[in-house]
Structure 1
Amino acid sequence: MKSISVQQFIDKIEEKRDVKEVHENGYQEIYYIICSILNEYIHSDWQQTDASIRSQNTKKVYYLSMEFLIGSLLKNNLLHYNLLSICNEALAELGFDPEKIYEVEHDPGLGNGGLGRLAACFLDSMASLNYPGIGCGIRYRYGLFEQKIINGYQTEYPDDWLKQSYPWEIRKEDEAMIIEYGGEAILVETDTGNLTCEYTGTEKVMAVPYDVPIVGFGNQFINTLRLWSAEPVNDRQNHDYYNQLEYEKNVEQISGYLYPDDSSISGKKLRLKQQYFLVSASLKKILDDYLLDKTATLKQLDKKVVIQINDTHPSLAIPELMRILMDEKQLKWDEAWGIVTNLFAYTNHTIMSEALETWPIDMVKEIVPRLYLIIEEINERFCQRIWFDYPELRNKIPELAVIAYDHVHMARLAIVASFRINGVAKLHTEILKTKEMKDFYKIFPQKFQNKTNGISHRRWLLMVNPRLANFISSVISPVWIEQPNELNQMIRYVNDKGLLEELAAIKLANKQELAHYIYKNTGVLVDDRSIFDVQIKRLHEYKRQLLNVFHIIYLYQRIKENPNLNLMPRTFIFAAKAAPSYHLAKEIIKLINTVADIVNHDPEIDNKIKVVFLENYNVSLAEKIIPAADVSEQISTASKEASGTGNMKMMMNSALTIGTLDGANIEIEQLVGKHNMFIFGLRSEQVYQHYQMGDYHVNEIYQTDPRIQSILRQLHDGINGQTTFKDIYFQLLQTNDPYFILKDFDSYVEAQNLIDLTYRDPIKWHSKCLVNIAHSGKFSSDRTIHEYASAIWNIKQLK
């Protein structure tokens, strides 16, 4: 922890200021000044951390991910250096609003959803727990997109997050790597009888690293997030001017956009190029670092290095390392395979078969021809193993083969080559072992483990909710900050009326802040004493925002029919981005906004309900919403959500969950008990049974439930006689409601009614909230990282 007075901090700011008075760009100027002050501490500690890791020659984890949703870093880094309150006081004395300074920083466009936020939490915990680790990702020039809602529709604009200089990164041009695409890969026999590969006609790209410090909490331990940027190689003398321009344009696209639109062939090729770019550059860096020790041998690589693949996106690292070991280091297949299979661990994030990544064979051959030859060999050897060792699985080879049906199956590649495979919640892992990957589990039972996700409690409670954090510290001492399991001490106070009233006051203050933000940004005036019912996550059919909005339509109809309906006022808050090419998801956004427009402007319902859609959902927006949430909507179709982390963030911030028994909801329910959540809907085994038996018929519900009939009729004919949503209507009825939205509707309404009744007793409600806070320490990413470190990575905390 750094020790500095408020006056000393002011002096440091004044030393760096160009002018004394506050002017129009004053906030931006002060933002960069504070970053500069903080970087002086960070860079010194960063160098010392690197030196310590080298001197102790310890094993390191490299975390490969296409996403790192790190959020803004200034406030986080100040907190980790114990300078946040000092900085706030200094800024206030200088006449600045601290929050406006922090809002200058644009969220880095390095991720989209839970996958990237999980990676960011893991990096935070590794640094805070003194585990040596490096994140490896891509420095996207533009993030996913900036979302604007225009006439209720999502409209996408470039997320130009690097428009202003990013103060945390350091360009390391001297450590750039050359990556090669395409061309031809020809196997030839050497004089010794070994095979080697000759490459011709490849296209070269330079991968330039930018390092971002990941600051540990209170320990001066700094890990690194290395982000690769694609740049042209300057030796293209044989190309004319226009070819050179085309080449430069193509190169810049490789790190140009997070998740380029893959609805076209060119978009798919670009995604595949991005994945190879990430893994090739990262592996070269990993080997260079390892071989700095002149006594190191490649056969001992796994003693000093472990590589975690975050989902299937970095799976090309497996054949790429085989290529490097065989073609560049001259190892034979068995030697190289022995190294590879002891080095990689794979985290699976989905059980939805349509989300498991595959690539057309011809595309892989075109972009990474040598890797395709290696993947072919991996596939051949694996299929032979099945044929000889597991004859009962011979007829399932097409469902297990790495190459099948003219596609390369990336999850299968990761399973075959990794020494560990983990799911991200107990239910998810069990589904992998018993259903989705049961035949792989039969072959590799020793590989499968569970590692339930976690969140950084320092950012998602200590930083974003200081009122609640200070309250907890006053009750049980600040011990929970470094030992989050100590939050369970709060369970002693679940019947303390005075303390529960304090908790209620904290929630109200947070709601008032969010209500002000909502009014400022949308013009909608919401009742801060209403129930703040929150669903914030990626827009997808299985996450069932549609179920939520159907309930709102139903409530609205009830109020219209009975204006005196005894209903607790409710504010429904949505935030979500839909993939640009995901038509139905974008229609659901339009539906939410259409319903909001009708409800919010109807004086007859007397403000009993309000609906708000907050645009451009990102980490910074989540940090504003989560402390104010009363109800946490975690309503995915059971068996579809691998884990979820929004459920953990909101329970930690004293929201009660309404949800299905899906993902980590199950583990939350096991800790807090059914009576401290609102559980509804089909269970995962029932969902699978319906799929298997084919005995669910949506028309039976449609014909027998007048509420459903009324809602769907409005979709077809027009909400309040206005906009129609026939695509949603036909999707539900003609595809037999694949996510059981209508099937779970009745149970969902009952659970919502129970929320209404429970909220009427504030002491009872906040007692349940306190139970959730008390058990939320289990879902700290510190716990998850300790489990990875001991059971998968075999790495130690640095002294």
Structure 2
Amino acid sequence: MGLTTAQFIKDYKAAALHLFADSLDNLSTLQQYQALAFVVKGYYAKDWVQTKANNEKHHRKQVYYFSIEFMPGRLLGSNLLNLGIKATVEAGLERLALDPVTLYAAEGDPGLGNGGLGRLASAFLDAMASVGMAGHGNGIRYQYGLFQQRFVDGYQVELPDDWLRDPYVWETRKENRAVIVKYGGQVELRPRANGSLQAIYHGAEDVLAVPYDTAMVGYRTGCVNTLRLWAAEPVPGRAHNLAEKARVNAITQILYPDDSDNDGRELRLRQEYFFVSAGVQSIVTHFKRTHADLHLLPQFIAIHINDTHPAMAVLELMRILLDEEEMTWEEAWRLTVATMSYTNHTLMTEALETWPESMFAGLLPRLYQIAQEIDHRFRAAHVQQYGELLVDRSAPIANGQLRMAYLAVIGSHAVNGVAKLHTELLEQSVLHDFYTLYPARFNNKTNGITPRRWVQLADPALATLIDATLGPGWRRDPRALQDLRAHADDPAFLAALNAAKLANKGRLAAVIQQQLGLYVDPSAMFDVQIKRLHAYKRQLLHVFGLLDSYRALKAGEDRPARVHVFGAKAAPSYRYAKSVIKLINAVADLVNHDPAVNQKLQVAFLPNYGVSLAEAIIPAADVSEQISLAGTEASGTSNMKLMATGAITLATLDGANIEIQAVAGAENMVTFGLTATEATRMQSAHTYNARAVYEADPRLRAVVDMLTDGSIPGIASEGREIRTELLDYNDTYFVLEDFAAYLAANRKLDALWADPDRWAQAALANIAASGQFSADFTVQRYGREVWHVLPEQPIGD
């Protein structure tokens, strides 16, 4: 947009007066941010309206991405960048004697997600708008996020994430688009004259679903899509006592309520149906306003199920088509399958969501009836050809449980994994029966990230260097980063690359000093592992590696200086993961306060990891730890973000690490450990003996013994718990088996670090190869091969 600095200043001053009846000088930093956001919202408002109008006028196919999590992060900088006015606005702020960085920091992270699932969903929304695709998000407007993480005496403490305490300026309440969601009661089926069945509800509980819309601004495309989040409210005009109101409000109060008991499980089920029902109802209602024939639904609508949480979309669309549109089962099922698609995000069978039949039938009686009919028809269609054994294994209802991943596969026309290895393993093991039944439905779509956020916004030092070297074309088409390879032998470029990284490390060092009171040397190697805390991600292996370094340094061995940076939250009820957090913090206390080693080895565990903290950590990373047991991580996206800013990947051959190796070059990353095939073979044959591995390796034994011999103060119970998992329960994720290979891989990193130019060349190779992991390309592949919708402004792929 053609905005001048003078016009922006005029608009900004007017907004301050309009919102707060005061001048900018007299506003708090938060108020200055809110006024600025109000101005920016006005700048894209016309495009938002026009995008909706163009979609309807030209009958463009709409993609609706259903996800229980979204993690958009701060939107001010992103919106300014995508509108093409960031430099103009920052110049205006500086002319007003306001610091842009301070105003950016005044924005909090929306508490709408926890990990890679939510960040991926938000990356895809950004990407769809940036390639001109009509793609929208559908989720829950949580009043409280997962939690604010604090460390008290090294333990994780969860505080409420009251992210809506201050108004969220980017959202717009759309109460005129509210819908009713029904729970419980009884459903009576009466035959209609046309042979279909009419569903009549008795004693159902009605909940009002109110949408809040947030604009998703495309990168200089003029396309502005919508993230629609639903809030639960009592139905106006009806009598509600306090208990009933509290029951309604609880639906959208907390991200991931504790589901360790039946009450928590039922609340989770209520949440999932709430946003699915509201979203599907809204889609059908809007479609009917612009199209006369619902049989055309799959030609103009695609609904995507992101993981199993929204799998009830299959049942809900069937309910609407059967009960409200009076279609036959065959018509409704054909339309549903053609409309739905599903992404699986896990290789762990225990993570595939299931619901007890009794709970599901009591809370969602009509959907249960539909699920029963799907189950009956599925069995009838396949048992003769494939046999009862396979059909029983893959039916949506079995052993008293509704199996939501199986329902999603049966009710979708396309099913994908999120990395080449992940998709292969789905086809070979987790969903093998369905691959036998529906081989044409399966496809791979490796995850992607948004270089706009992780390089252009989070790493301006690198972005400026790339601009000076290649020009700005890479900002639109990140494949142009491949041209950086021509500078691999340019000493001046390599020195500049190292200088940019050092500047980023200096900024992270300041964050560590501010948050932890710990001084770290920016010239040390910054070794980073940032992801949610789970046993399969093997933060424990990282800790064991640094404990080995601690012992080596204490024994007089010389090693390059390293700062180990962790960021991770553990689920509140995940005791083992919280014990690992306590261990990391106890090791940090031990190492950081030992003058014999703390010039060479330090540990910084930054609390409350999220998008904004990641924006500080990722550009500063020298080493990207991607060390999950091979065959357990579906894809990973931190691996892509870290490579894009020049970190060297230390990795198992798991998830997208394999594809990173293929494009960056095996010589530019360090791999180690069991392959997925080797791990599976050992698990299947029960040949792994963790205690024997422990007994055979003196270095490993010394590290494991530190858990319980008093070497690490303050972890008596946690150390015993972790040791018991490793030795008595046979080390589920092969930490001990991969320990020696992990140490050897780290020594390779030490050797590489000793040659700054060679390190910079490896960093350059990763940056140059990172462009292919742009989410812009990922959503275009989804568009062509799954959603059957082409973007308006495609980037060559």
TM-score by length of 2: 0.97
What is the match of residue 233 of structure 1? 235
For the residues of structure 2 that align with 1:52 and 1:298, how far apart are their CA atoms?
A: 21
For the residues of structure 2 that align with 1:756 and 1:22, how far apart are their CA atoms?
A: 52
**Aligned in 2, Cα 1:166/1:21: closer, same or farther, shift over 3 Å?**
closer
1:8 shift after superposition: 3.1
Answering whether residue 8 of structure 2 is matched by residue 9 of structure 1, we say yes
1:364 shift after superposition: 0.3
Answering whether residue 674 of structure 2 is matched by residue 670 of structure 1, we say no
Answering whether residue 534 of structure 2 is matched by residue 540 of structure 1, we say yes
For the residues of structure 2 that align with 1:688 and 1:464, how far apart are their CA atoms?
A: 39
What is the match of residue 248 of structure 2? 251
Identity, % of aligned positions:
45
For the residues of structure 2 that align with 1:124 and 1:218, how far apart are their CA atoms?
A: 12
What is the match of residue 624 of structure 1? 616
For the residues of structure 2 that align with 1:139 and 1:205, how far apart are their CA atoms?
A: 15
1:624 shift after superposition: 0.5
For the residues of structure 2 that align with 1:389 and 1:709, how far apart are their CA atoms?
A: 54
Residue 291 of structure 1 aligns to a residue in which SS? helix
Q: 2:210 aligns with which of 208, 211, 218?
A: 208
1:297-353 residue CA offsets vs partner (Å, 9 max, x unmatched): 111110110111101100101111111111111111111111111110000000111
User: What does 1:209-224 correspond to in 2, within 5 Å?
Assistant: 209-224=211-226
Does the CA-based 8 Å contact 2:13-2:24 persist in structure 1? no
* Aligned-partner residue type, residue 317 of structure 2: L
Q: 1:323 aligns with which of 319, 326, 339?
A: 319
Which stretches in structure 2 are left out of the alignment for 5+ residues?
none
Residue 715 of structure 1 aligns to a residue in which SS? coil
1:528-556 residue CA offsets vs partner (Å, 9 max, x unmatched): 00000000000000000000001111111
Residue 743 of structure 1 aligns to a residue in which SS? helix
1:743-783 residue CA offsets vs partner (Å, 9 max, x unmatched): 00000000001111110100000000000001000100011
For the residues of structure 2 that align with 1:750 and 1:112, how far apart are their CA atoms?
A: 33
1:75-96 residue CA offsets vs partner (Å, 9 max, x unmatched): 1101111222222222223222
Q: 1:182 aligns with which of 157, 181, 184?
A: 184
Q: 2:73 aligns with which of 46, 59, 71?
A: 71
1:673 shift after superposition: 1.6
Does the CA-based 8 Å contact 1:123-1:133 persist in structure 2? yes
What is the match of residue 586 of structure 2? 594
Residue 717 of structure 1 aligns to a residue in which SS? coil
**Aligned in 2, Cα 1:710/1:199: closer, same or farther, shift over 3 Å?**
same
Q: 1:614 aligns with which of 597, 600, 606?
A: 606
1:234 shift after superposition: 2.6
1:721 shift after superposition: 5.0
User: What does 1:349-498 correspond to in 2, within 5 Å?
Assistant: 349-391=345-387, 394-498=388-492
Q: CA RMSD in A?
A: 1.3
Does the CA-based 8 Å contact 2:587-2:712 persist in structure 1? no
* Aligned-partner residue type, residue 166 of structure 2: Q
For the residues of structure 1 that align with 2:99 and 2:60, how far apart are their CA atoms?
A: 44
For the residues of structure 1 that align with 2:289 and 2:599, how far apart are their CA atoms?
A: 67
Q: 2:627 aligns with which of 635, 643, 657?
A: 635
1:193 shift after superposition: 4.4
For the residues of structure 2 that align with 1:589 and 1:70, how far apart are their CA atoms?
A: 26
1:231-253 residue CA offsets vs partner (Å, 9 max, x unmatched): 0013434x6xxxx1111101011
Residue 528 of structure 1 aligns to a residue in which SS? coil
Q: 1:652 aligns with which of 638, 644, 657?
A: 644
For the residues of structure 1 that align with 2:606 and 2:712, how far apart are their CA atoms?
A: 23
Residue 736 of structure 2 aligns to a residue in which SS? coil
For the residues of structure 2 that align with 1:738 and 1:42, how far apart are their CA atoms?
A: 51
Does the CA-based 8 Å contact 1:633-1:657 persist in structure 2? yes
Answering whether residue 329 of structure 2 is matched by residue 333 of structure 1, we say yes
For the residues of structure 1 that align with 2:327 and 2:237, how far apart are their CA atoms?
A: 30
* Aligned-partner residue type, residue 277 of structure 1: F
Does the CA-based 8 Å contact 2:181-2:278 persist in structure 1? yes
For the residues of structure 2 that align with 1:339 and 1:4, how far apart are their CA atoms?
A: 46
For the residues of structure 2 that align with 1:326 and 1:605, how far apart are their CA atoms?
A: 69
1:501-525 residue CA offsets vs partner (Å, 9 max, x unmatched): 0000000000001101110111000
Answering whether residue 102 of structure 2 is matched by residue 100 of structure 1, we say yes
Q: Give aligned pairs, total.
A: 787
Answering whether residue 257 of structure 2 is matched by residue 266 of structure 1, we say no
User: What does 1:564-583 correspond to in 2, within 5 Å?
Assistant: 565-583=557-575
1:702 shift after superposition: 1.1
What is the match of residue 289 of structure 1? 286
Residue 742 of structure 1 aligns to a residue in which SS? helix
Residue 626 of structure 1 aligns to a residue in which SS? helix
* Aligned-partner residue type, residue 662 of structure 2: Q
Residue 37 of structure 2 aligns to a residue in which SS? helix
TM-score by length of 1: 0.97
For the residues of structure 1 that align with 2:25 and 2:748, how far apart are their CA atoms?
A: 52
For the residues of structure 2 that align with 1:782 and 1:461, how far apart are their CA atoms?
A: 15
Q: 2:298 aligns with which of 292, 302, 306?
A: 302
For the residues of structure 1 that align with 2:667 and 2:542, how far apart are their CA atoms?
A: 21
1:290 shift after superposition: 0.7
Does the CA-based 8 Å contact 1:27-1:96 persist in structure 2? no
Larger mean Cα displacement after TM superposition, 540-549 or 46-55: 46-55
What is the match of residue 739 of structure 2? 745
Does the CA-based 8 Å contact 1:13-1:30 persist in structure 2? no
Residue 149 of structure 2 aligns to a residue in which SS? strand
What is the match of residue 561 of structure 1? 555
Residue 454 of structure 1 aligns to a residue in which SS? coil
Q: 2:35 aligns with which of 33, 36, 54?
A: 33
1:630 shift after superposition: 0.2
For the residues of structure 1 that align with 2:750 and 2:535, how far apart are their CA atoms?
A: 26
* Aligned-partner residue type, residue 448 of structure 2: G
Answering whether residue 791 of structure 2 is matched by residue 797 of structure 1, we say yes
For the residues of structure 2 that align with 1:718 and 1:793, how far apart are their CA atoms?
A: 57
What is the match of residue 708 of structure 1? 700
**Aligned in 2, Cα 1:130/1:721: closer, same or farther, shift over 3 Å?**
closer
Q: 1:164 aligns with which of 163, 166, 185?
A: 166
1:208-237 residue CA offsets vs partner (Å, 9 max, x unmatched): 000000000112210000110000013434
For the residues of structure 1 that align with 2:634 and 2:231, how far apart are their CA atoms?
A: 31
Does the CA-based 8 Å contact 2:586-2:712 persist in structure 1? no
Q: 1:691 aligns with which of 683, 694, 697?
A: 683
Does the CA-based 8 Å contact 2:396-2:403 persist in structure 1? yes
1:637 shift after superposition: 0.4
Does the CA-based 8 Å contact 1:595-1:719 persist in structure 2? no
Answering whether residue 760 of structure 2 is matched by residue 766 of structure 1, we say yes
For the residues of structure 2 that align with 1:329 and 1:539, how far apart are their CA atoms?
A: 46
1:296 shift after superposition: 2.5
* Aligned-partner residue type, residue 33 of structure 2: Y
1:396-432 residue CA offsets vs partner (Å, 9 max, x unmatched): 3332111111110000000111000000000000001
Does the CA-based 8 Å contact 2:180-2:208 persist in structure 1? yes
Does the CA-based 8 Å contact 1:53-1:798 persist in structure 2? no
Which stretches in structure 1 are left out of the alignment for 5+ residues?
none
1:149-206 residue CA offsets vs partner (Å, 9 max, x unmatched): 1110000011000000011111011110011000011223345544322210100000
What is the match of residue 273 of structure 2? 276
1:56-83 residue CA offsets vs partner (Å, 9 max, x unmatched): 1111111111111100101110111122
Larger mean Cα displacement after TM superposition, 379-388 or 683-692: 379-388
1:606 shift after superposition: 4.6
Residue 605 of structure 1 aligns to a residue in which SS? coil
Does the CA-based 8 Å contact 1:532-1:570 persist in structure 2? yes
For the residues of structure 1 that align with 2:532 and 2:326, how far apart are their CA atoms?
A: 46
